[in-house]
Structure 1
Amino acid sequence: MSETAQRAKSVERVAYSLQETAEATGKTFSAVYQQMMVGKIPTCRVGRRHLVPASYFEEHAITPARKGA
């Protein structure tokens, strides 16, 4: 495994996409989107993307799935 790949695995995520949030919570993307729109799920915008802070997962004791694991 390359040094870059090893470093990428050890980096802690600070935010997750709405799709990743839906998969981690067992909800549909639409349900997560609606909860975001009414303020039940906090998000920050990066360009056109809405990202859910990792602190949301910590506060709600949700363990997001890691890609490639």
Structure 2
Amino acid sequence: MVPGSRKRGSTRPQEHPRGASPATPHLHGVAAPAERLLYRPEEAAATLGIGRSLIYEEIRLGRLQTVRIGRRRLVPPEYIERYVELLKCEAEATA
């Protein structure tokens, strides 16, 4: 092999069209959604500023709804918003 030449299958990163990354494939002519459609419970907890244990407790109690894909529990943004509204109503009721 000549020094400075490359073999096929080099580890050089592939370039993607229009700056798209492999994690976000380019959809021809379709705009990517501005907001995620589903969050893992840990991500929902981070969004709400609460801990992992509390988010799972709220899910178990039925206060925060989830959807399931296979065995995974995921939280749509509208369910996070409903949960926040529930918290606001509870705060107003005790005030």
Q: Which category of TM-score, normalised to the shorter sequence, fits these structures?
A: 0.5 to 0.7
Deviation at 1:14, TM superposition (A): 1.8
Match of 2:52?
29
Match of 1:10?
32
Number of positions where the alignment pairs a residue of Structure 1 with one of Structure 2: 59
- Read off the aligned partner of 2:26 and give its amino acid letter: T
Looking at structure 2, the residues matched to 10 and 58 of structure 1 have their Cα atoms a distance apart, in angstroms, of 22
Which residue, 39, 42, 45 being the options, matches 2:62?
39
CA RMSD of aligned residues (A): 2.5
Match of 2:77?
54
Looking at structure 1, the residues matched to 80 and 68 of structure 2 have their Cα atoms a distance apart, in angstroms, of 17
Give TM-score, length-normalised by structure 1. Answer: 0.68
Deviation at 1:17, TM superposition (A): 0.7
Looking at structure 1, the residues matched to 50 and 73 of structure 2 have their Cα atoms a distance apart, in angstroms, of 17
Task: Provide structure 2 residue ranges, at least 5 long, that are not aligned to the other structure.
Answer: 1-18, 86-95
Which one has the largest radius of gyration? 2
Looking at structure 2, the residues matched to 13 and 37 of structure 1 have their Cα atoms a distance apart, in angstroms, of 23
Deviation at 1:57, TM superposition (A): 3.2
Q: Secondary structure at the match of 2:54?
A: helix
Structure with the larger strand share: 1
Q: Deviations over 1:17-63 (max 9, x none)?
A: 101011001111110001001100000111121111121234438xx
Moved segments of 4+, more than 6 Å: none
Which residue, 11, 14, 19 being the options, matches 2:42?
19
